[in-house]
């Protein structure tokens, strides 16, 4: 069994900005993302837990895994798109078992095979 190094980008942002963030991720060429909703916690802006915020003012978390170049470009695009919104970005190293799942060209070929447009 062999693992491969990748970067993991975690973004916590206001729920109202979720769709714009997903659009940026898709435009970047990332092969996927994971969303975890209703992220609560406390930081410099104090706690958002149990203070009566409606859904649009809660936080959502999203993470993306990919090659370093793609992830660093994504960090740049996110920082430009959301300069005045509450949020935080974490970057870390991860190791994945199936490297090919994080390469766009491989994913596109799998989709073509699945749709019967290309031989396996």
* Domains of the chain (ranges, CATH numbers): 4-114 (3.30.70.120)
Q: Characterize the bridge pairing of strands 87-96 and 34-39.
A: unpaired
pLDDT digits 0-9 by tens, 56-87: 568 899 999 999 999 999 999 999 998 877 78
The four Cα atoms 89, 6, 38, 35 give a dihedral, to 10 degrees, of: 130
Residue 6, helix vs strand vs coil: strand
The lowest-confidence range among 54-63, 92-101, 109-118 is 109-118
Report in angstroms the alpha-carbon separations of 76 from 3, 9, 12, 64, 111: 27, 12, 15, 14, 29
The residue with greater pLDDT, 73 or 37, is 73
Sign of CA pseudo-dihedral 20, 27, 78, 81: negative
pLDDT at residue 77, as a whole number: 93
Return left, alpha or beta for 94; rule: phi > 0 is left, psi -120 to 50 is alpha, else beta.
beta
Q: How far apart are CA 69 and CA 103, in angstroms?
A: 12
Regarding predicted confidence, which is higher, 99 or 22? Answer: 22
Instruction: Give the lowest-confidence range in 31-35, 79-83, 113-117.
Output: 113-117
19-29 pLDDT, tens digit each = 999 999 988 88
Lowest mean pLDDT among 10-19, 78-87, 89-98: 78-87
Minimal CA–CA distance to 21: which of 104, 87, 91? Answer: 87
């Amino acid at each position: 069994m062999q693992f491969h190094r990748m970067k993991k980008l975690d973004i916590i942002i206001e729920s109202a900005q979720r769709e714009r963030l997903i659009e940026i991720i898709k435009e970047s060429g990332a092969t996927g993302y994971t969303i975890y909703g209703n992220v609560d916690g406390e930081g410099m802006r104090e706690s958002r837990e149990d203070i009566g915020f409606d859904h649009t003012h809660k936080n959502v978390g999203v993470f993306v895994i990919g090659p370093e170049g793609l992830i660093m470009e994504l960090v740049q695009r996110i920082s430009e798109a959301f300069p005045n919104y509450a949020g935080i970005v974490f970057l870390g190293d991860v190791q994945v078992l199936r490297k090919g799942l994080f390469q766009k060209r491989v994913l596109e070929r799998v989709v073509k095979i699945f749709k019967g447009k290309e031989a396996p």
